[in-house]
Amino acid sequence: EAVSGAQLIAQALRAQNIEYMFGIVGIPVTEIAIAAQAVGIKYVGMRNEQAACYAASAVGYLTGRPGVCLVVSGPGFLHALGGMANATINCWPLIVIGGSSDRNQETMGAFQEFPQVEAGRLYNKLSVRPSSLEVIPAVIEKAVRTSMYGRPGSCYIDIPGDFVNLQVNKSSVKYVECCLPPPISTAEHAAVSKAASVIALSKQPLLIIGKGAAYSRAENNIRKLVELCGLPFLPTPMAKGVVPDNHPNCVAAARSTALQHADVIILLGARLNWILHFGLPPRYQQDVKVIQIDICAEELGNNVMPAATLLGDINAVTQQLLEEFNNRSWKYPSNSEWWKKLRGKIKNNEERSKALALQKSLPMNYYTVFHHIRELIPKDCILVSEGANTMDIGRTMIPNFYPRQRLDAGTFGTMGVGLGFAIAAAMVARDRTPGRRVVCIEGDSAFGFSGMELETICRYNLPILIIVVNNNGIYTGLDANSWEEMLKFGDPATCVPPVSLLPNAHYEKIMSAFGGKGYFVKTPEELQNALKASVTDKQTPSLINVVIDPQSERKKQEFPWLTRSNL
């Protein structure tokens, strides 16, 4: 019995329990998508390969098993590189399958010919081309396994165009079973004991929870550790909700103070990169003791010499620490000077945000908008957030109560991820947690990167709520009058600020063009009404275009986004 290359690829993906495929079909990969649907894989046709690849990578983070991105040769492959890099830098599992030119035309200047396997090596843990149809299942198993084992990341499989419709006898194919779940490693006992001793001697401890902890599904053990030891904790942006943001031990509202004055820091699946200011002074104490818990040995010791290194799965190592502290019965006192300092700072910061949120002036500022969003969106929704001010202020204003329910620009600071992430989250939610909503909060500039994915959202009838926080620009914009004045000076290409976008852009009309619901709002009342209507309608995709003050910025004591080195 004969089987085609396309069928072999689809069957092998199914055998590895792959559920979702995102992509844009064309020569030579269309038959692969058709074969995938035939074996029960869900195929979502996107409008740009970048968004397709972001979507597939989000599936990997949300489910722990990679999604697949399917792209055509040459330009299609190249447009997916952004998603591969984003997945690898965020440590999310992903499989990209790219068509390439027929083997017998290599070096001849074939249609869309490009050295894809070599190009893929920079962005992926594995970049391979099967040498024959017979080995396709084995290569796919290796790619899926490699994407998940150790520190997760992206893997690329190159499929020559002539493989897709080529037939081979089933009896000669090397079929393989589904790879085993990733093995779970624990830290050496001496390191666990050393870490516990350092923590027990701390005067100003701080636990930092990273998205590696969210990925390893360590929420129950981490919450137990926080409560058993009475530790203050700080989530990194995508780790919000591993322990709920409203937990009394959360010190996110005193982030700078907590980092600057902690004498012992426990890193749970978080890296000392730009997001955490590298662990260096002046943002940290010169002699801060760092306890590093990570799945990747090469990460240990980056930027700061650790006091203890615990190599292993975050959930398993947290369990080891719990057992160690159960034996020691040590708890950090809740009436310490450190707690008083942190609570004072939290109160002060929350009052400042609240004062900004209650400003009655129009156009609205970011804080007012986020105040109303927070009041009206479902507590268990999956939040997708991107933009400059929109993402930064949204992170502080909108709480997360559940793990893996915040997706944002991530470690790579990627703009354009929002709609792809939202589509992936909505597909996964539909299958695993029916009724759970996806709310996607975008800056107007960030929305522009993948705005046409609104058509995809409407085509698959995904009831996503998109909120565009519209300040007519990147960081800041111009109001309509200033814009008109600017144009009097001549050609906009020479006189309009590079950060400006068109004032009063009606993004909501793009949503209504495809059959979703669009709302244009300028006041708190209009915003509340649009939010209530969108949340109540659980069937229809909707977009709320919220016009805010083009000059609205973050609280004054914080650094504006442009001085990113200070963030």
Residue with tokens 């929420």: 219
Residue 553, pLDDT score: 82
Residue with tokens 């309009």: 496
Amino acid (one-letter) located at 54: Y
Angle between helices 49-63 and 418-432 (to 10 degrees): 40
The residues facing 92 across adjacent strands are none
CA distance linking residue 414 with residue 406, whole number of Å: 15
The beta strand positions in 118-263, using DSSP E, are 126-128, 154-160, 167-169, 205-209, 233-235
CA distance linking residue 245 with residue 234, whole number of Å: 9
Phi, psi of 152 (to 5 degrees): -65, 160
Residue 519, pLDDT score: 98
DSSP codes, 34-93: HHHHHTT-EEEE-SSHHHHHHHHHHHHHHHSS-EEEEE-TTHHHHHTHHHHHHHHHHT--
Residue with tokens 């989000």: 58
Using DSSP bridges, classify how beta strands 167-169 and 2-4 pair: parallel, antiparallel or unpaired. Answer: antiparallel
Residue with tokens 């939040």: 383
Residue 332, pLDDT score: 98
Q: Count other C-beta atoms under 10 Å from residue 471's C-beta.
A: 31
Contact 508, 515 (CB under 8 A): no
∠ CA(18), CA(24), CA(28), 5° rounding? 90
Question: What are 315-337's pLDDT values in tens digits?
Answer: 999 999 999 999 998 999 999 99
The low-confidence residues of the chain, meaning pLDDT below 50, are: 557-567
Residue 556, pLDDT score: 57
Residue 559, pLDDT score: 38
Contact 92, 147 (CB under 8 A): no
Which part of the chain has CATH 3.40.50.1220?
189-344
The domain made up of 359-547 has a fold known as Rossmann fold (3.40.50)
CA distance linking residue 210 with residue 198, whole number of Å: 20
CA distance linking residue 106 with residue 530, whole number of Å: 55
Contact 420, 46 (CB under 8 A): yes
∠ CA(516), CA(518), CA(521), 5° rounding? 165
Architecture of domain 189-344: 3-Layer(aba) Sandwich (3.40)
CA distance linking residue 492 with residue 267, whole number of Å: 48
Q: Is 424 exposed, middle or buried (0-12, 13-18, 19+ CB in 10 A)?
A: buried
Q: By C-alpha distance, which of 330, 452, 463, 353 is closest to 399?
A: 353
Which part of the chain has CATH 3.40.50.970?
2-172, 359-547
Amino acid (one-letter) located at 260: Q
Residue 555, pLDDT score: 67
Whether domain 2-172 has CATH 3.40.50.2000 = no
* pTM, to two decimals: 0.97
CA dihedral 453, 5, 62, 318 (to 10 degrees): -150
